[in-house]
Amino acid sequence: MELTRELTLFSCFESSNMDTFAPFKFKTVSLSRIKIHDKIFEPFISAEEIDKAVTVVAENITKKYRGKKPVFIGVLNGCFYFAADLMKKINFSCEISFVKVASYVGTQTTGNVRQLLGLDQKVSGRDVIIIEDIVDTGNTIEAVTEIITNMGASSVSVATLLMKPDVYDKKVKIDYVAIDIDPEFVVGYGLDYDGYGRNLNQLYVLSQAENLKSNEDMLNIVLFGPPGAGKGTQAIKLKEKYELVHLSTGDILRNEINNETELGTLAKSFMNKGELVPDEVVIDMIGNCLNEYRDAKGFIFDGFPRTTEQAQALDNLLEEHSTEIDTMLSLEVDDEELVDRIIKRGQESGREDDKNESVIFNRIITYNKKTAPLKSYYDEQGKYHAIAGVGSVDDVFERLTSSIKS
């Protein structure tokens, strides 16, 4: 899905002259959604557009305050990104200090402003410019302005990156406004959602989407099953029914090595030393597959992830591609049944490791130990589904497809 959002970008002039200027419009195009805690956010304003707005703010402040040596006071935590970029564009001598207040919990403003903390500059008789990341109801800026005025400042001006005029209800003049937005919750460029998102170099807006997928029809499956559960057979049937790309880490590794790619050569160097291929290398290989099949209807991940660390890395990779795992299907078969199946397979194939009962049991025990944390990982996301792996191939397949439908 492509998100196009229209915003009003003011030319960052002083508010007393705003009526004499016509605001211009710009549009942003979505690159990918992101997830922070339990919320989904969509791209809102790009880093380039923010930089343009900050540049104009700096130019207008410079016109008024050149030669006056004002004190800039940034309101933490949110303003640090804006303040840093703004100060790099200010072309006159000045000082900057930061103060701490608090008015947000989660995605809602509390309306309560605490004591002003951290001011280490004398403001009496000085021109002061307060730097804010966002002004909405105005509770914070009203409190900060009042305190600094009472400290004897000669003048107090306010510069903010974002302004929500529809909810602003205070008498304090907001002198420099970069971007006027609707009363929506945004993160990035210093703004956070419960502590996260401040490091993002562009702005994201809270989305109504329930997941990260830009293509709602895409189906991504993690298929689990112990040795002998019939996972390979069911993976082929799922691939054919839903027209998915089957990503088996074993096949991916062999393909990269046979093609003598850079990643294949790196993986082979570890394998030749008897070492496991690092997760980072496998993730990069999967990333190449996602790029190669970017128009796919979905993927079956077979043999990966095997640990919670790998599952988290896969989630992060899929997030970069604007998608996510839909379901983790785990074929469940009793250990005794698995042993019988594998021994029968060994008799037919001649594989020695499929004929030794104690070796088979050890493989099953190892599988159960390794996958238990993974099942919990996906269960916490509501994505883990245990599927009875006994019965005919078609019976098991019917259970799998029924789980996907539900």
Structure tokens at 245: 């790309």
Residues facing 75 on adjacent strands: 99
Q: Is pLDDT above 90 for 354? A: no
Residue 213 lies in a domain: no
The pLDDT confidence band at residue 371, using thresholds 50, 70 and 90, is confident
Residue 400's alpha-carbon distances to 221, 251, 351, 365, 394, in angstroms, are: 11, 23, 29, 24, 10
Residue 212 lies in a domain: no
Q: What is the dihedral of CA 142, 143, 146, 148, to 10 degrees?
A: -120
Percent of the chain at pLDDT above 70? 87
Q: Is pLDDT above 90 for 34? A: no
pTM to 2 decimal places: 0.57
Tell me: do 142 and 256 sit in the same domain: no
Across all residues in the chain, what is the average pLDDT?
A: 85
Residue 211 lies in a domain: no
What would the pLDDT profile of 251-270 be if each residue is shown by its tens digit? 899 999 999 999 999 999 99
CA distance 132 to 76: 8
The pLDDT confidence band at residue 157, using thresholds 50, 70 and 90, is very high
Q: Is pLDDT above 90 for 215? A: no
Q: Is pLDDT above 90 for 398? A: yes
Residue 144's alpha-carbon distances to 99, 102, 131, 180, in angstroms, are: 9, 11, 11, 21
The pLDDT confidence band at residue 19, using thresholds 50, 70 and 90, is very low
Q: What is the pLDDT at residue 356?
A: 82
**Rounded (5°) CA angle 356-359-362:** 150
Q: What is the pLDDT at residue 6?
A: 38
CATH of residue 29:
3.40.50.2020
The lowest-confidence range among 25-29, 53-57, 198-202, 392-396 is 25-29
Percent of the chain at pLDDT above 90? 58
Tell me: do 122 and 269 sit in the same domain: no
The pLDDT confidence band at residue 5, using thresholds 50, 70 and 90, is very low
Please indicate whether residue 387 or residue 214 has the higher confidence score (pLDDT).
387
Please indicate whether residue 117 or residue 205 has the higher confidence score (pLDDT).
205
Residues 251/357, Cβ–Cβ less than 8 Å:
no
Q: Which amino acid makes up residue 22?
A: A
Number of Cβ within a 10 Å radius of residue 63 = 10
CATH of residue 228:
3.40.50.300
Residue 356's alpha-carbon distances to 213, 226, 364, in angstroms, are: 45, 16, 13
Q: What is the pLDDT at residue 131?
A: 97
The pLDDT confidence band at residue 120, using thresholds 50, 70 and 90, is confident
- When divided into structural domains, the chain yields a total of 2
Mean pLDDT of all residues in 45-65: 96
Q: What is the pLDDT at residue 211?
A: 64
The sheet with strand 176-180 has its strands ordered as 24-29, 4-9, 176-180, 155-163, 127-135, 71-76, 95-100
Q: Is pLDDT above 80 for 224? A: yes
Q: Could you say which DSSP state residue 390 is in?
A: -
Residue 131 lies in a domain: yes
In terms of residue numbers, what domain contains 364? 219-405
Tell me: do 315 and 239 sit in the same domain: yes
The lowest-confidence range among 109-118, 151-160, 307-316 is 109-118
CA distance 382 to 182: 33
Structure tokens at 61: 């402040």
Residue 77 lies in a domain: yes
Residues 15/175, Cβ–Cβ less than 8 Å:
yes
